[in-house]
Amino acid sequence: MSSNTDAVLYDHPGPRAKARNIVLTAVFGVALAAALWWIYRKFDEKNQWDGALWRPFLEASTWTDYILPGLWSTISAAAVAMVLSLVFGLVFSVGRLSDHWWLRIPAGAVVEFFRAVPLLLMIFFIFYGIPFITEEPMPPFWAVVAGLTLYNGSVLAEAFRAGIHAVPRGQSEAAYAIGMRKHQVMADILIPQAARAMLPVIVSQLVVLVKDTALGYIIGYTELLQNGVNTLGANFGNIVAAAIVAAVLYILLNATLTFFAGVLERRTRRTGKAPRVVAAGDAAGASAPAATVGGVGEPQG
């Protein structure tokens, strides 16, 4: 099945195409090397590679006082927002697929609203606007987490909804035929398959979420950008060096997230924990009990 699909979707390059690809790869490699060399030379002209600017990163106090506390704040906000965003996305994707208009329309309005509002504006409003309602100061941590949850959760809700729509219709029809209710079909059949199908999109959005924690510096949240770049650069006068180190840490953090997501996907496939695919034979064998519940092929609930 997969070999036939590959043959349809991808034509293996012939000798001329292979030669052209090699030439294009070489040209791109030379252009990239030239661009990197030009950047290096420009920084060198401004003495940005001077040892005195990089020496603070060899001292333990730089890491314990600036970088590691900022990194921990970034990881903390990102971890909490990831969990809440996934829950938010799952709940509102199911709400948008509800048969009841009084659930479907409000859920759609919430998702579209928070997808449309810029995240920075949302963090600003939560941090400065909520205290007018609660008459209590808003902690920067929760302002950042709330903004990240509302925005990324809305994007994930659309990803889950698209994944559920992508599951073959016969899956749900066969499940209804054996007497499963709608919430069972959604929980046992559709959502697990949608989550697996949309895993690359989900991981990409979670990577975006990690990077968006940097917006917290605007309300004084001491994450990696604030502590590891702004504060550290102001103290040692090495803003470019601090930004490069912070960028490397962001790359490592997101690469780790992507790696574990890949491990999870491979382990799920290997252990066979995929949702059970309802076969036509199952539907036929269970048609009598299904009719007793409320009619063959009709969603129950």
Q: Which residues contact 145 (CB under 8 A, 6 or more apart)?
A: 77, 80, 81, 84
How far apart are the C-alpha atoms of 86 and 198, rounded to whole Å?
12
> What confidence tier does 292 reach under pLDDT thresholds 50, 70, 90?
very low
DSSP assignment letter at 273: -
For 64-116, the pLDDT digits (tens) are 999 999 999 999 999 999 999 999 999 999 999 988 899 999 999 999 999 99
Is the domain spanning 52-293 CATH 3.40.1390.30? The answer is: no
How far apart are the C-alpha atoms of 97 and 105, rounded to whole Å?
10
pTM of the predicted model as reported, rounded to 2 decimal places: 0.79
| CATH 1.10.3720.10 intervals, the chain | 52-293
How far apart are the C-alpha atoms of 200 and 183, rounded to whole Å?
25
| CA-closest candidate to residue 195, choices 157, 227, 230, 169 | 157
CB atoms under 10 Å from CB of 170, counted, come to 14
From 8-22, 47-61, 77-91, 111-125, the region with the lowest mean pLDDT: 8-22
Give the per-residue pLDDT at 173.
84
> What confidence tier does 282 reach under pLDDT thresholds 50, 70, 90?
very low
pLDDT greater at residue 293 or residue 25? 25
Residue 16 CB burial class (10 angstroms; 0-12, 13-18, ≥19): exposed
Per-residue tokens: 187: 């929980």
Torsion of CA 100, 102, 107, 110, to 10 degrees: 170
